[in-house]
Amino acid sequence: MNSSSRDLQYWLQYDRQHIWHPYSAIGVDLPVFFIQSASGVRLKLADGRELIDGMSSWWSAIHGYNHPVMNSALQNQMQKMAHVMFGGLSHQPAVELASRLIELTPDSLETVFFADSGSVAVEVAMKMAIQYWHASGKPGKQRFVTLRNGYHGDTFGAMSVCDPVTGMHTLFEQAINKQYFADAPTVPFGEQCHESDIASLRTILKNHHSNIAALILEPVVQGAGGMRFYSADYLKQARLLCDEYQVLLIADEIATGFGRTGRLFACEHAEISPDILCLGKALTGGYLTMAATLSSFEIAEKIQSSSPGVFMHGPTFMANPLACAAALASIQLLLDSSWTERITQIADRLEQGLAPCRNYEQVVDVRVLGAIGVVELKQAVDMKSIQSAFVNHGVWVRPFGKLVYLMPPYIINDDDLAALTSAVCSIVGDL
Ligand SMILES: *Cc1c(COP(=O)(O)O)cnc(C)c1O
């Protein structure tokens, strides 16, 4: 313990001075915890403490960590090959995964582009939309409309359709393209949408459709842009408006895909088909980085009908076989489980467990949808103190801004879930 704890201090110090973390700075005094291993819903710290995971490593580890079925799928694939280039070559994991995704997603989606991260899948979707309209004789349709409070990734194209305030558009003003922003939907999930709710989107489409390639949105749950849930009926109306104004609909289900909202894909709440669909995060069960962009045959055929006759994108690690094998195993595990009942139960427990927060003066709202529980505060949290408070409570919860939220692995049991919600209530109550 003594010599290893000295090592640990060294590693943490080196990390602080040399390694970027997500949305971080070098050399700052914010806690970073060293993880030794992870298994089931438990993250084991280097000092021996164990934390119950409330984050699924950002929506991804839906089956928890170190899952025997996932591990053996990767070991099997590893015996064959870890990677081969995808230019001119193909392999069974890619073909099987593509057919699985096509079978599970809405009917109109028939082609798959494997990307290496969610942001890249969004870039690919945006480029597909532009190439589609270019090939359709409408090269002026190169801009996008999206919803305020959205989040679509950190690369330049994706950043251009993130919320302009939280997405720091002023900082990158000259570097990112100007897009159109409709008011964020305010109609709650489960309610019908009125004309006034959709008016902002309608006005933009009406006035600018001739230079808009697509509407991009996160169906039903706006994730990193505010953890907001909105009416599925809004989504239905948005689909109709896209048809009316000849604009493609890109559904970014990178966060919502694979059961998190209670349906396999959030678009199912509205019974709509997008023209282009982005998947990521839980796609590989949290094992490897991979994302996918699906589109209709119509889009694919149009793109190749015109110069240059190909779609202009091709990542080095496209369709990485290990990632495909992980995704296939993860999807099979999900479908073989009674995930719909489990998500409903998790939703009930989150609702009950977080309900006491409603009485706290510092809380604005408590909301639950599927396996997502959110406590919205009046003021942004102090990351340094709250992060350590959660760890001292034996749970891994990572708030951002005014939001303290839980999205545990689906395999979590009721006791561990109760430990998560009681830690949230206790820490939020003490703020
Ligand atoms: C996380 C996320 C992305 C970006 O995915 P990365 O893999 O982090 O690049 C895009 N869209 C949504 C909705 C996300 O939640």
Per-residue confidence band for 1, with pLDDT thresholds at 50, 70 and 90: very low
Ligand 1 pocket list (CB less than 6 A): 117-119, 122, 151-153, 218, 223-224, 252, 254-255, 280-281
Q: What is the biggest distance separating any 2 CA atoms in the chain, rounded to whole angstroms?
A: 70
The predicted pLDDT at position 3 comes to: 55
Query: 252 alpha carbon to ligand 1 midpoint, in Å?
Result: 8
User: Which residue's CA is the nearest one to ligand 1's atom 8?
Assistant: 118
pLDDT tens for each residue of 209-253? 999 999 999 999 999 999 999 999 999 999 999 999 999 999 999
Q: Determine the Cα–Cα distance for residues 200 and 207; give it in Å rounded to an integer.
A: 11
User: Which residue owns the Cα nearest ligand 1 atom 5?
Assistant: 118
Q: Which two tokens stand for residue 427?
A: 């820490």
Atom of ligand 1 nearest to the CA of 158: 10
For ligand 1, the distance from its centroid to the CA atom of residue 139, given in whole angstroms, is: 28
pLDDT value at 6 more than 80:
no
- Residue 276, classed as helix, strand or coil, is strand
Tokens of 21: 């973390």
With DSSP H G I counted as helix, E B as strand and the rest as coil, what are the percentages for the chain, rounded to 5?
40, 15, 40
Going by the DSSP 8-state scheme, the letter that residue 399 receives in this structure is -
Separation of alpha carbons 239 and 402, rounded Å: 31
Using a pLDDT cut of 90, give the percent of the chain over it: 95
Compute how many other C-beta atoms are within 10 angstroms of the C-beta atom of residue 314.
12
Q: Report yes or no: 162 and 197 within 8 Å, Cβ to Cβ.
A: no
Please write the tens of the pLDDT for every residue from 306-321: 999 999 999 999 999 9
Has residue 2 got a pLDDT over 60?
A: no
Could you identify the atom of ligand 1 that is nearest to the CA of residue 291? 7
Burial class (CB in 10 A: 0-12, 13-18, 19+), 83: middle
**CB burial readout 373-395, b (16+ within 10 A) else e:** bbbbbeeebeeeebbebbbebeb
Question: Quick one: which atom of ligand 1 is closest to the CA of 155?
Answer: 9
Atom number in ligand 1 closest to CA 150: 13
Q: Region 243-268: what's the mean pLDDT?
A: 98
**What are the beta bridge partners of residue 215?**
145, 249
Helix H or strand E segment including 385: helix 383-392
Contacts of 15 (CB under 8 A, 6+ apart): 32
324, 96 in Cβ contact below 8 A? yes
Q: Is the pLDDT of residue 4 over 80?
A: no
The mean predicted confidence, pLDDT, of the chain is: 96
pLDDT score for 410: 98
Classify 369 as helix, strand or coil.
Answer: strand
Q: Which residues pair with 229 in a beta bridge?
A: 221
Average pLDDT of span 82-94: 98
Rg of the chain taking only CA atoms, in angstroms:
22
Question: Of 284, 287, 291, which is closest to residue 330 (Cα–Cα)?
Answer: 284
Taking alpha carbons only, the member of 379, 369, 373 closest to residue 422 is: 373
pLDDT at 415: 98
Rounded CA-CA distance 333/330 in Å is 5
Alpha carbon of residue 180 to chain centroid: 22
Per-residue model confidence (pLDDT) at position 408: 98
Ordered alpha helix ranges (H), 172-231: 195-208
pLDDT at 5 over 80: no
Q: How far is CA 85 from CA 17, 35, 73, 136, in A?
A: 35, 32, 20, 31
Is the peptide bond prior to 308 cis by the omega test (within 30 degrees of 0)?
yes
pLDDT category of residue 168 using cuts at 50, 70 and 90: confident
Active-site residues, by number, are 23, 151, 252, 281
pLDDT at 97 over 60: yes
Element (H, E) at 347: helix 339-354
pLDDT tops 80 at residue 401: yes
pLDDT, tens only, 175-193: 999 999 999 999 999 999 9
Mutate which of 60, 152, 260, 289 for ligand 1? The one with the most ligand atoms within 8 Å of its CB, which is: 152
Q: What is the pLDDT of residues 10-64, one digit of tens each?
A: 999 999 999 999 999 999 988 999 999 999 999 999 999 999 999 999 999 999 9
What is the distance in A from the centroid of ligand 1 to the CA of 25? 21
